[in-house]
Structure 1
């Protein structure tokens, strides 16, 4: 299927907005000049709080005095774009950013107003992700509740280009920004008896129409990996896309990327991580266990019960390509399944 996008006025060449990084950086310059947060305004608190926990209820930097529902922290704009890790170079061109951010299957945001389940980008404005925390529990030494801001600063960021394959056969190639899941797991120090990593997505019926209306689904969305899968070098926690913080419809502010598995394993908007010795229940496996097994590796020789997986169709033009075993990452992950 081909997808045709009509340009809007703000997409016309020559009418581009100021790049985000430059926009945010102007505040840093103004602070140094003493024009913001004291300085020439007569305040003496320009440097107050530097050694304290940042104020999590701060105003939106784009509109002073207005509380934003977008995840953000001081200095975040300077982290993007991150340096690209060339080890993960691709065999195909990157998907256009517009299409990668406007074809998203995120069931929490499916709306009765629009029958197209991929138009979730229209219905994410109420999603509150400003003050993001992740609860870590289970068989690990370092558990508790962690601010995502602190984790990002501790882990650091890099960019990786990965193939992305949906179970419904469409595929993309996108540049994710984030950090290795293995690095995060090491920080939480799981115990030897931990065999699985379970994850849970944010779920709020007031902010998410799909959660509110699709009451027959087992919310919140949940997924899991074996410890071996989770610590594989490919497993990635993404906080950005196309050199910018990740959009809400793509799983802001943090999501999992495991490029050798079908897309539904790549859980979005993560709020809980649990280390366990039992295989965790997962969302789609509970809905249709014969169609969505726990492992869910990309495999052209294993058809979905309702369609073949022998080929994929690239977004946006529908170009057909043969499906690659483990989505082309066989050398790095095949040993996990011997």
Structure 2
């Protein structure tokens, strides 16, 4: 696997900083999770000056302009709150994100639960500016704050049987109104990665965006971000992570396997059964742009998929 700085030149792609190195009995236990993250980001404000989220960013030699924050936080799919893009922002105030525990289990040395605040004390936060491409053929560019998923995997210590990682959204109909009365999907929402995909340095567990804690409508307090996959793979409000030997079925794969494959990779040459994926609408801008294979990250991750049939919506 490539080392971190070999993926893309750091000055073009990311700003990596050690934001948090706090032990038990310190600020971690004294502050609410959102306040903790906000305080850490404020303390590190000078470190962020190299990369202003409202300016253009370079990735693989191409300038990327970040989507305006008010757009990225108000145009969302989060079906636990409703069917429309505005529902998450309008209804997500019901989601209580502190305290928050994540259960880690499956093919690991020993199952355990960890609080969100304790988890933050054990990882290194980074800012990553990624393309975000929805299977509905729209896109954004978002500056995330988070940590590489492989850090959590190293904490979990999976055994030799572990081949897949499954993520599960919190199930709580009192907080997610669509879970209890008109379930569009078989909640709780689940997503899956192969272990090698999960270990790649680009794969992020996001805790913030635009230098702020994640808002509830964007998946607070913890969501997955896999930039070369369609957005439905980026599961929100995670409260369980399992390491599995056999490939499980993810939510959209179970709901409609003819339209949503296990891999969910961005591919302009493989159309959705009901629309082309050759182009995309950039939210907040006019017109269409050409969709890039693996969302522009092919040089880093295409080796994962050699030999697979691209026509099968993988």
TM-score, normalised by the number of residues in structure 2: 0.81
Aligned to 1:242: 210
Contact 1:80–1:245 under 8 Å retained in 2: no
Aligned to 2:40: 79
Aligned mates of 1:237, 1:164 — CA distance in 2: 14
Partner SS state of residue 127, structure 2: strand
Change (3 A) 1:172 1:51: closer
Partner SS state of residue 180, structure 2: helix
**CA shift at 1:176, angstroms?**
0.3
**CA shift at 1:208, angstroms?**
1.4
Which has the greater radius of gyration?
A: 1
Aligned to 1:110: 82
Aligned mates of 1:173, 1:133 — CA distance in 2: 29
Contact 1:142–1:187 under 8 Å retained in 2: no
Aligned to 1:202: 170
Change (3 A) 1:189 1:53: same
Match of 1:100 among 42, 56, 72: 72
The number of residue pairs the alignment matches comes to 271
Contact 2:28–2:121 under 8 Å retained in 1: no
Aligned to 2:29: 54
Contact 1:106–1:249 under 8 Å retained in 2: yes
Aligned mates of 2:58, 2:123 — CA distance in 1: 22
Q: Which has the higher strand share?
A: 2
Partner SS state of residue 72, structure 1: helix
Aligned mates of 1:167, 1:282 — CA distance in 2: 15
Structure 2 unmatched runs, 5+: 1-23, 52-56, 307-314
Provide the alpha-carbon RMSD of the alignment. 2.1
Aligned to 2:144: 176
**CA shift at 1:102, angstroms?**
0.5
Deviations 1:129-161 (A, max 9, x none): 110100000001142110111111110211000
**CA shift at 1:215, angstroms?**
2.7
**CA shift at 1:126, angstroms?**
1.1
**CA shift at 1:319, angstroms?**
3.1
Aligned mates of 1:210, 1:52 — CA distance in 2: 36
Contact 1:79–1:157 under 8 Å retained in 2: no
Change (3 A) 1:234 1:50: closer
Structure 1 unmatched runs, 5+: 1-48, 61-70
TM-score, normalised by the number of residues in structure 1: 0.76
Aligned mates of 1:149, 1:209 — CA distance in 2: 26
Partner SS state of residue 261, structure 2: coil
